[in-house]
Chains A and B, each alone.
Chain A
Amino acid sequence: MKVSNREKILYALVDKKVKPVKFIDKYRQNNGDINKTLDYFLKYENLKLNYGTSKKNNNHISVEESNYRKIADFILKNEVDLLDISDDSYPDILRQIYSPPPLLFFKGNKIKEAKFSVAIVGSRKCTAYGREAAGYISRNLSEIGITVVSGLAVGIDSYAHKAALKGKGGSIGVLGCGIDIVYPPENKFLYEEILLNGSIITEFFPKTPPLKSNFPIRNRIISGLCRGVVVVEAGEKSGAVITCEIALKQNREVFAVPGNIFNPMSRGCHKLIKSGAKLVESIDDILEEFYEYYKGNLKLCSDHDYPSSRKVNNRHNTEIQGDELKIYEFIGYKAKSVEEIVKYSKMEVKEVLSILTSLEIKQLIKEDSFNKYSRLF
């Protein structure tokens, strides 16, 4: 039985302990000839690495108990797929980065189909605004067929994934651990959802724990898979900012969604904007940068809904009136406390509280920190 390339690569990486970087080096020296590369690494091995290898073949190296064997069994059992660098469906854009992963474990076929993707990254501890912004951008990108890539973490990442899954673009989640590990555990359901219209990928072998050091390694795949990286909310020393640095090295566009200047979670984004990242208000700002890419493949979408301020005001003036409008107008984009609102409106606390809740139900305001409210639109 013929041993396929990806099995050989897996064997080289797992049991021969070839460093991925070294592998890629050799691969490039051989001008992308995978057979030559594998011959170089495995030339002394007379292998019979197919899944059916049995103990009887004594003349061959026994791989029964090797790590390779375990992983191969795992892959067969759990419907995990493998994609190697020589594969045609391996994303071209990822192949071009400095150190692409020689092997990708994946579930869900989106990774093979995605033609154009954009990453949305941000803080785990996000504000209501960040959540709203991530969802809004992600949803619109996905609607015109752009795949949204993110890191399957909590916070911005999970909101970006959730919103993207509703559109035709779908979503790709890149893990910092083995594909069999659900991390963080609260995203358990997201894992299942994402497989319906997206895929989960990782370069780490199954059972790799989510070590701290894995995440920067993962981040290079997130940005590597995409044409551009959108940062939604990031603290000053956030992982999202690191992703952007990698993205710049990989020659990707960097976008940042501005935030409230009083919010420490906007620091990172603003720092990026100051040093040249493009400010994003709507996906038009993103699409502008990719005009030559998407004009062929994608339909230019000029009038997708985005909250131009006029539009919003018109909509809401009809919905809210009287005291609600008065309070809504008083609550600015900087958070106001209940006490301030009561003092301003000269109404009773109970009335103010019910107005605040009803504005919240209408999704016009949001509790920013305890008892402080700010506008969403």
Chain B
Amino acid sequence: MFFKLDSFTLIGIDAIRVSVEVHLSRGLPEFIIVGLPGKAVSESRQRVRSAVLNSGFDFPVKKIIVNLSPADIKKDGSFYDLPIALSILAASGQIKCDISGESCFVGELSLDGSVNPVKGLISMAEQAQSIGKKFFFVPYEIANQASFISSLKIVACKSLSEAVEALAGGEKMEKFICKDKDESVSNRNSHYNFDFEDVKGQLKAKRALEIAVSGRHNIIFIGPPGSGKTMLAQRAVTIMPDLNLEECIEVTKVYSLYEKYVNYLIQERPFRNPHHTISRAGLIGGGINPRPGEISLAHKGLLFLDEFSQFPKNFIEDLRQPLENKEVVITRSHLSYSFPCNFMLIVATNPCYCGYFGDESRKCICSQREIQKFWKKMSGPVMDRIDMRVTVARLPESSFIKTECGESSNKIKNRIEKCLYIQNERFKGKRISYNSEIGINIINEWLKNDKKIRDLIYTISGKYNLTARGTVSILKVSRTIADLEESDTIKENHIIEAVHYRVGYNYSPESIF
């Protein structure tokens, strides 16, 4: 008496197929799970037994062996409760299942037989589609998460007995199939509680942020306390273009690994704002069973590190590789897990320990040495990957009331969408998609025939003592500025404006003020 159902396990963000095989044999009654089960999987024996009994079925008094194949991959989590229970019932001949071959199952059982949510559903649904399954039995509560996949029918089960009913196939099944597919995808209008209108003054910072978002340049805001750095960063997400379906899926994938109750396709750009007391695993990802960290949760969105100087130095260094590769790989002795982390980085920091260096009205009480120490922590490779450095000054009190509203987020967003369209056209078929990812060879190609611009660049890099990387980043930003103006070539004024965002704060006190 053998029966087999398909389920999945997660490795990083990807799902792979796991067959749940059940064999009932004669012998002393026993219930064994093999195939490198983790703690949660071993414990499923108790849940399955109770759920089966409480749903009105008999639990076979036989020697039950469950094998999770491939047997050499460690499995953890509560995905297998539902498939184990169903295959035990099927193997003991209590239920009829015509469609077991083209179905797959995940779900955690509660003792009364109801089905609870699990993590990573959307990745499994994708995998189910790609291995050609037709039906996917999932917990009812989170069924919407996976319902957009067109060629796959999502069977939402509230309880074990519903799953049994659906498994019989035919008309009975229809009523469990999740139908609000179209609704969840088309009804995509991200709405935020804040708007760029709220930001008074700060014209330079706003403009810089617009450019940064357009070309996906990383940006740092430097300013005294109360100057509005956090406010600006929060609003950056409101001017980012809406996620397309593909991006929504990617974002939801990460989030469904992070928490169980994701009952919809996430459509808003993620905005992650971790506190600086975060642990390393929390920021980068990791743990015994690796989980995505904040940088992955910010995938396709914004990672905002407020009070950047307070983050431990090694965490800052850890960001280097993910910033470059858009992916973080966590290697454990048995396996490597990779999580995507294609995010835009916004960083905010005070200019010194007391916070008032460069402020007009309050005097900074830090010594030169302290300021240098403060910046030493941040300079170097990570700062090199931040293309734009923008100082934010405190506004005089009067301007909060007087100043008329700024532009609304939607207006800015329209311009940015246009700019992104230009970039998409340009980079079609290439491996990059934003101006910030351009290499020096492409830039050289553009500037080959423009001696005037080249001379200007030499002058500037001499004047400001720029490194090669600094010069390249100025050129990248000026390309974005040119795109915003829908100009085909980079012109002088574009470069000069870009210089403004690079040398605004040269992070060595020697060279400022």
Contact = CB atoms under 8 A, between A and B. Distances in A.
Contacts of A351: 493
A230 B495 CA distance: 40
A297 B252 CA distance: 82
A184 B510 CA distance: 12
A369 B513 contact: yes
A184 B372 CA distance: 11
B492 to A, nearest CB: 8
B327 interface: no
A86 interface: no
Interface in A312-363: 335, 337-339, 342, 349-351, 353-354, 356-358, 361
Contact of A154 (B201, B207, B497, B510): B510
Interface in B431-463: 459-460, 463
A349 B496 contact: no
B203 interface: yes
A186 B510 contact: yes
B392 A370 contact: yes
Contact of A357 (B351, B369, B497): B497
Contact of B513 (A356, A361, A368, A371): A368
B224 interface: yes
Given A337-B393, A369-B513, A353 B204 contact: yes
Task: Give the most central of A128, A371, A372: most B CB within 10 Å.
Answer: A371
Interface residues of B, number: 39
A350 B460 CA distance: 18
A37 interface: no
A354 B202 CA distance: 16
A338 B203 contact: yes
Contacts of B323: none
Interface in A185-199: 186
B475 interface: no
A367 interface: yes
A264 interface: yes
A127 interface: yes
B368 interface: yes
Contacts of B368: 124-125, 154-155, 184
A373 B142 CA distance: 56
Given A339-B201, A349-B203, A354 B497 contact: yes
A128 to B, nearest CB: 6
Interface string A135-172: 00000000000000000001100000000000000000
A104 to B, nearest CB: 27
A370 B391 contact: yes
Interface in A117-139: 124-128
A367 B222 CA distance: 14
B359 interface: yes
Contacts of B463: 361
A354 B496 contact: yes
A264 B360 contact: no
Contacts of B201: 339
Contacts of A342: 203
B500 interface: yes
Contacts of B367: 124
A128 B364 CA distance: 16
Contacts of B496: 354, 357-358, 361
Contacts of B459: 361
A350 B481 contact: yes
B426 interface: no
B497 A371 contact: no
B504 interface: yes
Given A184-B369, A367-B513, A335 B203 contact: no
B360 A369 contact: yes
B510 A353 contact: no
B286 interface: no
B499 interface: yes
Contacts of A349: 203-204, 206-207
Given A353-B497, A361-B460, A371-B204, A127 B391 contact: no
Contacts of A358: 496
A228 B353 CA distance: 37
A372 B393 contact: yes
Interface in A48-75: none
Contacts of B206: 349
Nearest to A158: B510
Interface in B181-231: 201-204, 206-207, 222-224, 227
A357 B499 contact: yes
B359 A370 contact: yes
B42 to A, nearest CB: 60
Contact of B204 (A124, A184, A335, A338): A338
B500 A186 contact: no
Contacts of A264: 363
B322 interface: no
B504 to A, nearest CB: 7
A361 B360 CA distance: 23
B274 interface: no
Contacts of B290: none
Nearest to B351: A370
Interface in B317-366: 351, 358-360, 363-364
A335 B393 CA distance: 13
Contacts of B499: 357, 361
Q: Most A CB atoms within 10 A — which of B203, B227, B363, B369? A: B203
A191 to B, nearest CB: 15
A367 B203 contact: no
A369 B207 contact: no
A309 to B, nearest CB: 24
Interface string A254-273: 00000000001000000000
B219 to A, nearest CB: 15
A338 B363 CA distance: 21
A310 B202 CA distance: 36
Contact of A354 (B203, B500, B504): B500
Q: Which of B223, B358, B481, B500 has the most CB of A within 10 A?
A: B500
Given A186-B372, A361-B496, A353 B392 contact: no
Contacts of B363: 264
B228 to A, nearest CB: 12
Nearest to A371: B393
Contacts of B392: 370-371
Nearest to B204: A338
A367 B504 contact: yes
Contacts of A371: 204, 391-393
Given A154-B510, A357-B500, A370 B207 contact: no
A52 B48 CA distance: 93
A351 B393 CA distance: 20
B203 A369 contact: no
A332 B493 CA distance: 24
Interface string B478-507: 000100000000000110110110001000
A357 B497 CA distance: 7
25 contacts: A124-B368, A125-B368, A128-B513, A155-B368, A186-B372, A339-B203, A342-B203, A349-B204, A351-B493, A354-B500, A357-B499, A357-B500, A361-B460, A361-B496, A361-B499, A367-B391, A367-B504, A369-B358, A369-B359, A369-B513, A370-B223, A370-B227, A370-B358, A370-B359, A371-B204
Interface of A: 124-128, 154-155, 184, 186, 264, 335, 337-339, 342, 349-351, 353-354, 356-358, 361, 367-372
Closest 4 A-B residue pairs measured CB to CB? A370-B393, A354-B497, A370-B391, A357-B500
Given A354-B496, A357-B499, 6 more contacts: A349-B203, A353-B204, A354-B494, A369-B360, A370-B222, A372-B393
